[in-house]
Every structure is written in structure tokens, then in C-alpha cells.
Amino acid sequence: MLVLVAPGQGAQTPGFLAPWLEVPGVADRLAWWSAVADLDLIHYGTEADADTIRDTAIAQPLLVAAGIAAALAVFPHPAEAFRQVGAAAGHSVGELTAAAGTGAITAESAMVLVRERGRAMAAAAAVTQTSMTAVLGGDADEVVAKLTEHGLTPANRNGAGQIVAAGTVEQLEALKADPPNGAKLRGLSVAGAFHTAHMAPAVARMQQLAKGVSTRDPRVRYISNRDGAVVHSGREVVTRLVNQIANPVRWDLCMETMRELGVTGVLEVPPAGTLVGLAKRALPGVATFALKTPDQLDAARAFVAEHAEEQSAAETFDTAPTWRLVVAPFSGTVQRGAQGMASAESGDELAPGAKIGAVVSRREERVLVAEHGGTVLEWLVEDGDPVAPGQPLVRIHPKAEAH
């Protein structure tokens, strides 16, 4: 099974977009997205220096535009991607790349959101001098305890022995003087303490904008940074994208979900390298491909062909208006209905937002919601069945299309 991943801020390097301008259609798309983002993406991706593209308001739109453009170069016809890609995920701002790639939002919506996200996070970062430091190695519990001791937040839990600490410069200096046992510290090229309470003002701004964003349910499993859950509601995807700005990235749980799904290949869109590096350590035996330049496109397509599984209509989350799906957010046991929940037998009419059951694991319990309401067509599992992340559970004929 193939998983596509998109990197987050800090992955950008000067000039990384230059070779991609030779790919037919890429320059035109970047020119259009530059207008949408109110930013000269071609200039910043080809001519600007490292300090310039470190700016949050520049780096974030640049990363999302590069990822979407490269994905479209690999899959010129997106319908092919929906049949071949088993799941998609992005690290931090890369979640917007994944959201566009899975069809939850349009590329234009992604560029507007990332434009405002970058500006709002840059403004929030300017209030207090903050930054982030990677903590490599050491016992995870001891690392988190040491961060807490210094008032820092474990903003990224990346698995493979990497936790990213975030907070004020003074707090990070204190950590440098008193590091966790057996750990090494490496400062990151970012301009603020992202995914911490320092970003709360940015969340407020983005929540206001997100209300007007048109969404569709993803056509491919979308793995969320919040908890590694597979999310099948386009509206929930956007809500999580916004809230994630001030909450830790659990990339370790995202990779755990990939493992549960049976991933055999991970392809990272440019500027690639960081996430496949984590996958090599956390997912032994899984093949990886870091797509960095367009001269790798033929090899990337061969990698896709090797790891793709042609999916059934249900597995690709067909968004035809004849029916919708409720899917499992993670591995666990399905419970069809419970006290106080709506009856959800074949033929039953459900109100939008009706609670129809739950998936229970040792880690947590998640209620299953029929977001759009409608008529229950059939359950695809029985009560008590074990289920995998993203597995279709019930088909529902909606009363109306989502907006």
C-alpha cells in the first residue's frame, strides 16, 4: 500500500523549485497560486536566500505550492491517484498539501488558508522571541519530563527517537544547559514556537476564515496530525487543520496508523527527505522514495506502480452523490449503536450529526457520526468486528450534498 506524505516548515532550501519550472504546467500553476497567495512563489522558490525563505509567511505557502505541483506532476490525472494512493498525510503545514491532494479542499483554498496561516503564525511568533529545538535520542518519557521541567512543549513527537521542543529562547537555552540524559539537541530553522500555546492568536484568526471554506469528504484516507486518526469528513479535516496550529504534531501516531494500514511504500513530495528519514527508522522494511527533482518523476511513477493497490469504490471513498461512508478512525472494535444513540439499521433515516456507534481501542474510544445524515443503506461490518484505520463501516444515502 502506498502512502503520500508532505513535509513541514524547515524542509525548504534555496532554489529547490528551480528545476520544477521545466515541467509542463508547473510554472503556470505557480504563477496562478502566486496571485492567490499574494506572494511571488517563483522568485522565492528559485532566487531567494535561506534567511528570506525562513520567514514563516513565505516558507509555508512555498512548501504547500511545491507539494501540490509535484503531486500533480506525478499524477497528471488526479483520479488515478485516488485509485492508487492508499493514504496521505502531511507534517504540520504539510497537512494543507495533503488536504488538497485528497480532495478535501481545492488547491486554491489551500493556498488562501496557507497564506493566512503563515501570516497569522508569523504575527503570533513576533509577540515573544520563541523557537524550536530537536531532541534526538534519550528515553521518550524522560525527554518529555525534562521539557516540562523547563516549561517547554513537546511540539512535534516524530517517532524514531525525535521529539521537538518549543518555547521561548530563554527556555530553550536552559534546556541546552540541562539536556535530557542520552539526548542530543539540534536547533531548527523556524521562526517561532509552532504547535504551542504561543500560536493561540493564529488559531482564532484561522477559525474565523475556516467557516467559509468549501469542503468535500477526502477521496483518499487522510491521516491527521492530532492523533493519527483517519478522517473522512472534509469539514473535520479543516477543523483539525486549524486547531493543530496550537497543538502538538503526533507524527509518531501517524506512522503507527500507516503501519496498521499495511503500508509498503512511502513517497514524500518536495522538498523531500525529512519524512522518509523518519519512516526509515520507524517503519523498518517499508520502502521509501524522496521526490526532490523532476528527473526522478519516471522513477517515482514506477515506485507508485510497485506499491499501489487498485482500490474498490468503497475503499477509495467514492464521493458520487448516491451514497456516503462512515469509516473507522483507527484500529479497534466496532460497536453498532449504544444507549442514547440513534438507531442505524438499513432503511433508517438519520438526522445530520447523528451518533450511530463507536470504535473502541485500548487507547481511546471514538464515536461514529453520520455527518450529513440520510438513509442507512447497509452496514459493512457486524457489531464487535475488529476494524482497521479508514475501513468503511456503513453506507448512507445523504439527504443533500455537503457544501
The residues annotated with a catalytic role in the active site are 92, 195
How far is Cα 308 from Cα 295, in angstroms, rounded to an integer?
21
Candidates 106, 2, 14; CA nearest to 64 is 106
How far, rounded to the nearest angstrom, does the alpha carbon of residue 372 sit from its chain's CA centroid?
23
Peptide bond into 271 cis (omega under 30): yes
Contact of 210 with 203, CB cutoff 8 Å: no
DSSP secondary structure letters along 321-336: TT-EEEE-SSSEEEEE
CA–CA separation, 392 and 373 (whole Å): 16
The dihedrals phi and psi of 6, each to the nearest 5 degrees, come to -125, 130
Q: Are strands 392-397 and 386-387 parallel, antiparallel or unpaired?
A: unpaired
Residue 271 has which C-alpha cell? Answer: 522538498
Q: How many CB atoms lie within 10 A of CB 341?
A: 16
CB 269 within 8 A of CB 97: yes
DSSP state, residue 311: P
Its sign, for the CA torsion 75, 77, 79, 83, is: negative
Q: At what angle do helices 94-101 and 234-243 cross, to 10 degrees?
A: 170
Residue holding cell 505550492? 65
Cα distance between residue 230 and residue 110, in whole Å = 20
Strands 2-6 and 265-268: parallel
The label of the residue with cell 450511530 reads 356
Cβ(116)–Cβ(56) below 8 Å: no
Strand intervals (E) in 34-152: 87-90, 130-137
How far apart CA 42 and CA 58 sit, in angstroms, is 11
Rounded Cα distance between 368 and 337, Å, is 9
Provide the H-helix boundaries in 226-327.
234-243, 251-261, 274-282, 297-307
